[in-house]
Amino acid sequence: MIKFTRSDTEKARKAVSILQAAREGDSGYNKREVNEALIEMFRGKCYICENKDGISSYQIEHLIPHRGNLELKYDWNNLFWSCAHCNNIKNARYEPILDCSQVEVDKKIAFRKEGFFGIQEKFVFTPLENNEETRNTVALLHDAYYGTTPQKKIEATNIRKALRTELSNFKNLIREYEEAEEYDKEDLKCAILREVRDNSAFTAFKRWILWDNKERYKELIDF
Ligand SMILES: [Zn+2]
């Protein structure tokens, strides 16, 4: 989970006005314009698990469950983009969680993969602050990546598989950079930068690979 800025774009403005109109007659928030604005803002990925495989079905998620409250139900600032798996796990539990449109979640929680596939591999979420929002977010992340019911555990296995592949490719890219000749380094630096931007999959994990090796990757972090 990383920060996404709720920018004042044309799509966002359209969504806000559609939501205002829909609120009048309580005609539902699941409108095309709202979906388009959320896809733009969240870069097409689930804000909870950061998967963007293009296969999962996505849903509009309310950060604060609305429970029939029209203010919360139609508030653009309360709408988030989530995969069905994570939306279903979150439901109305884990309340309150960190608002990733306001705070840099990856500075409040460390995202790490420990061990290796088949050998005590673990995806670990370490809270760096001790408060309710951060603790609840850690619990939600753990359940999203590991599942809560037999079906959700199968779905989570697929998310972890995608995550493992992305991290392995990212590490290969860094290795390639480290071994590259000077004239190839710039291109590889740009490729690495693309991977840690908000539109890449599983960005929080990738950023932490660099942050955990601050000295070794100083040049990349500065870049
Ligand atoms: Zn998800």
| pTM of the complete model | 0.94
Instruction: For residue 35, count other CB atoms closer than 10 A to its CB.
Output: 18
pLDDT of 58: 94
Report how far ligand 1's centroid is from the alpha carbon of 62 (Å). Answer: 14
Report how far ligand 1's centroid is from the alpha carbon of 131 (Å). Answer: 23
Average pLDDT over residues 76-87: 96
Mean pLDDT, the chain, rounded, equals 94
Report how far ligand 1's centroid is from the alpha carbon of 187 (Å). Answer: 31
Report how far ligand 1's centroid is from the alpha carbon of 106 (Å). Answer: 16
**Cα–Cα dist 105/114, whole Å:** 20
221 falls in which pLDDT band (50, 70, 90)?
confident
Check pLDDT > 80 for residue 200: yes
Average pLDDT over residues 75-103: 95
Q: Give ion ligand 1 contacts, CB < 5 A.
A: 46, 48-49, 83, 86
Report in angstroms the alpha-carbon separations of 113 from 7, 82, 94, 160, 223.
Answer: 32, 22, 23, 10, 24
pLDDT of 10: 98
Average pLDDT over residues 148-166: 95
Check pLDDT > 90 for residue 55: no
Report how far ligand 1's centroid is from the alpha carbon of 89 (Å). Answer: 9
Q: Please report where in the chains the tokens 């929680």 appear, as a residue.
A: 109
pLDDT of 119: 78
Share of the chain above pLDDT 70, in %: 100
DSSP 155-204: HHHHHHHHHHHHHHHHHHHHHHHHHS-HHHHHHHHHHHHHHTSTTSTTHH
**Cα–Cα dist 212/199, whole Å:** 21
**Cα–Cα dist 135/167, whole Å:** 25
Report how far ligand 1's centroid is from the alpha carbon of 118 (Å). Answer: 23
